[in-house]
Every structure is written in structure tokens, then in C-alpha cells.
Structure 1
Amino acid sequence: MPRFAANLSMMYTEHDFPDRFAAASADGFTAVEYLFPYAYDATELRRRLDDHGLRQVLFNAPPGAWESGERGTAALPGREAETRSSIDRALRYAAALDCPRLHVMAGLVPPDATPKERAEHRDTYLANLGWAAERAAAQGVDILIEPINGRDMPGYFLSRQAEAHEVVQEVGAPNLKVQLDLYHCQIVEGDLTTTLRRDLPSGRVGHLQIAGVPDRHEPDRGELDVGHLFRVVDDLGFEGWIGCEYVPLAGTSEGLGWLNDYRGDTA
């Protein structure tokens, strides 16, 4: 059955970040993910995980100047040294937190970029991902790339599932995988059942995420039939995690009816 990880960057924001681990555990989560750990000492985060019986299953490598609007550097020519330094930093945190997956963000590309410029971005992306995957393999970590919709993140380099799978296949590293966020995928291309049935058996999907469409609240709010999607994931034998990367509408614990219903159906 699908396993769910609480995203502590979006959920439990009624608590200070260090207290979100306890809140997630109290609601029955056994794993967490979040965007970035770097504002906290790794030993403190590990203590929170251990104290509450939680596993860290995913976080992002440093994305450049996030507060200034940057959304990754891996596909930005001229930023290779920064990108690789950030991945080394992320891997140190991954080792301390026993985290098996890192999401490496590509970055934003100008809307008027020429085909030649886009090709340069792609070449940079492939080279950085190949380097990152080789570096991460030494400690048993998967590097993930995620297609992100252009409504939420205009100009993001990677937006479609086929593009992500092409990148993974071209790099050819067994520990480079796709992070399939069903929220982003529904907005960009839809057809989620077919996408899951096509891509999960490939072995190239390392992590799933879920949120309601179109407003990114609880998964059962909006146009997705999440019960059906979870059954598809279960039928396909996916053994990874589903990250709950959504913004609760009115209190995190109060909005977990969808998860409690699912747990009841599978009990």
C-alpha cells in the first residue's frame, strides 16, 4: 500500500518548524520531507527524527538565491561550481539524516531563450546531473529531478514528464530518477492514470507527491479522484513514498480526513 510522508514545509505551519516533527508523528506519519534543512544544524534535525520515530525521505539541494526568486542552478551555464558545491553540502546533510533522496532543482530559463541557448541549458543540466549522480552513488543516495508547472513557477526549465524521463535515460545513471508530482503533472498534461501505468513500471520514478488541483490544498479537494490514484499506485506495486506537498486549507490535522479514510479502507 502507498506510504505517505508529511511535507513539513507546507504542513503543520501552525507550529514552529522544529515542532512539526512531533505534530506529524502524532498524526500517524512515519516519514517526512521538506524543502530545505540548511537553516538548522543536521544533528538537531536528526534528534527530532529519532525522538519521534520518523524517517527523512527527501529534501532539496540548495537552490541558489531562493529569497531573490531563484529556483535552482543545475541548468544554468556558468553556475557549475556553485551547483556542485551545493550538492556536496546536501549530501553531507543526507548522510547525517540518513536520507536516501535529494531533489536537484534545474532553475529558471528566460522566456525568450533561443533554441541554442536552451540547448546550452540542457547540456549544463545533463553534465551537472551526471556529476551529482556519481557523487551521490558513493553514499547510496538517489538524485531526483521534478517537472514543475509553469503557472506556479514560470520559466522553470523542466515541465513535462517525457522530458524528465529523456534526461534520466540520456544521463544513464541508475540513481538518477524522476520525482513525479501528480499536482504539477495534472496541471501541465493530465492523464494521470496513464502516466502512472506507463512510468512507474519503468523503475525511473523515485518519489511521488500529491496535492489537490487546482488550489494545492488537501488531495481530495478539487478535481482529482485520489482514492482511484492511490489504488493505481498500489496495484502497480510502487514501493516508494508519496509526499504530501500541499497547503492545508484550515489546520493540518483537521484536514487529514482523506488520509484517515484511506487508512480505514486499507485496514
Structure 2
Amino acid sequence: MPRFAANLSMMYNEHAFLDRFAAAANDGFRAVEYLFPYDFPAGELKSRLDANGLQQALFNAPPGDWAAGERGIASLPGREDEFRRSIDTALDYARVLGNDKLHVMAGLAAPGVPREQQRAVYLRNLEYAARAAQGDGITVLIEPINTRDIPGFFLNRQDDAQAICREIGASNLKVQFDCYHCQIVEGDVATKLRRDMAGIGHIQIAGVPERHEPDIGELNYPYLFETIDALGYQGWIGCEYRPRAGTTHGLGWLRAWLQR
């Protein structure tokens, strides 16, 4: 049966961030993920995980200047030294928090830079990240993201992401498959899960098109959960959605699934 992780960046926003761990545990989650841990000491976050019997499933490497609109630096020419430092920082946190998955955001298309040049930078940086993470048993993830949510994002398609992973050839470099992004960009979600499961390291869900609970919209999530189960996926499924109202109130979809 699929195992679900609460995304604390989007869920439980009715609580202060550090209080979201307890709220998620009280609702039955056994793992959490979020965008970035860097506003808090790693030890403080670890204490929240331990106090609530939670596992850390995933977080993102530093993305550059998020407040200024940057959405990752892995593909940006001239930022290679900063990228390497960001991976060092992320791995320091992962060693404390215990997660074995790290998402590295590609960033936006660089104005005036040919796509192939930017792609070459991206591949070199991902090679470095995978090599640096190997010794800690951490899998580096890349995620295709739709350009409605993040206009200009460099990586958008599942086949492109899978091709990059194959080209690099690192066993600990995989794709983060977000059903929400895939449906918006490409559709045919179940077929792509079947096609790519060997190269998928993490799965995320949300309703389409509004990114609310996975119980409304274009995607039949009970069918997708059964498909994911049949394909033998053993990882966490991250609930990266914005609740329509209170988070706990909107978890009927989860309670119904767990009672099956």
C-alpha cells in the first residue's frame, strides 16, 4: 500500500512551521517533506521528527535567491561554485535529518544562453551532486515542473529528465515524478509511470488543476495509487498540495484510502 508523506511547506499552514510536525503526526502521517530546512538548525528539525515518530522523506537543495524569483541554480552558467557549496550544505542537513532523497532544482532558462550550453552546465553539476551524495547513500532527484506554476523552468518533460539521468549514468540520480506537473505538461500519467518506474526515485501528488487535495479534478488518484502499488514502488508519496480549507478537514481522501 502506498505510504504518504505530508509536505509541510504546503500543508498545515494554519500552524507555525515547527508545529506542523506534530500536526502531521496527529493525522497519521509517518513521514514529512518540505521545500527547504535552512531557516532552522538541523538539530531542531531532527528533534521535531524524533518527538513525533516521523521520518524525513525529502527536502530541496538551496535554490539560489528564492525571494528574488530564482528557482534553482543547477543549470545556471557561472554559478557552479555556488552550486557545489549548496550541495555541501544540503548534505550536512541530510546527515542529521536522515533522509536519503535530495531534490536539486534545475532553475530557469538563462536569457541569452543557448539551451545546449545550459544543459551541459546542468549535467556537469548533476554529476558533481550525485558523486558527492554517493558516500552518504543519498539519491539526487531532478523534477520536471510545469511552466504555468514556474514560467521558464528549464526542465519540463518526463522523457527529458529520464534521458538526462541515463546520460549521466549515476545509480543515485533519479527523477522526482510529480503527477500534478506531469498531467499539466503531458497527461497520460499512468502510462508514464509504467514506462519510467525504474528511473523514478520519488513521487508527489496534488489535484489538477488547482493543486488542492487529490480527491478532485482531472486525475483518478485511487487508480493511480493502485498502479503505483502494482509497479512495486516502495518509496514515500509526497502530498504536495494546498488544502482547500483546513489541512486536517481535507484528509478524507487519505482516511478513505487507508481504510481499504
Same fold (TM over 0.5): yes
Q: How does 1:78-89 map onto structure 2 within 5 Å?
A: 78-89=78-89
Report the 3-state secondary structure (helix = DSSP H, G, I; strand = E; otherwise coil) of the residue aligned with 1:242: strand
Q: Secondary structure of the equivalent of 2:259?
A: helix
- The residue type paired with residue 32 of structure 2 is V
1:204 deviation in Å?
1.1
Deviation at 1:191, TM superposition (A): 0.2
Paired residue total: 260
Task: Give the whole-Å Cα distance in 1 for the aligned partners of 2:50 and 2:158.
Answer: 35
Q: Secondary structure at the match of 1:207?
A: strand
Scaled by the length of structure 1, what TM-score is found? 0.96
Identity in percent: 62
SS of 1:140's partner is coil
TM-score of the superposed pair, with normalisation by structure 2: 0.99
Deviations 1:18-64 (A, max 9, x none): 00000000000000000000000000000000000000010000000
Q: In 2, distance between residues paired with 1:85 and 1:174? A: 22
Query: Within the alignment, does 1:141 sit opposite 2:138 as a pair?
Result: yes
Distance 1:55 1:78 in 2: 36
Does residue 172 of structure 2 align to residue 175 of structure 1?
yes
Q: CA deviation at 1:197?
A: 1.0
In structure 2, what is the Cα distance between the partners aligned to 1:100 and 1:206? 10
Q: Which residue of 1 aligns with 2:41?
A: 41
Deviation sequence 1:57-76 (CA, Å, 0-9, x none) = 10000000000000000000
2:153 is the counterpart of 1:159: no
1:229 equivalent to 2:194? Answer: no
Where do residues 5-24 of structure 1 align in structure 2 (5 Å cutoff)? 5-24=5-24
CA distance in 2: counterparts of 1:61 and 1:128, whole angstroms: 12
- Residue aligned with 1:209, SS: strand
Structure 1 equivalent of residue 202 of structure 2: 207
User: What whole-Å deviation, never above 9, does each CA across 1:167-225 have from its counterpart, x for those lacking one?
Assistant: 0000110000000000000000000110111111xx21000000000000001121111
Matched, 1:62 2:46: no
**Cα-Cα RMSD:** 0.8
State whether structure 2 residue 186 is matched by structure 1 residue 189: yes
- Structure 1 runs of 4+ off > 3 angstroms? none
CA distance in 2, matches of 1:193, 1:18: 35
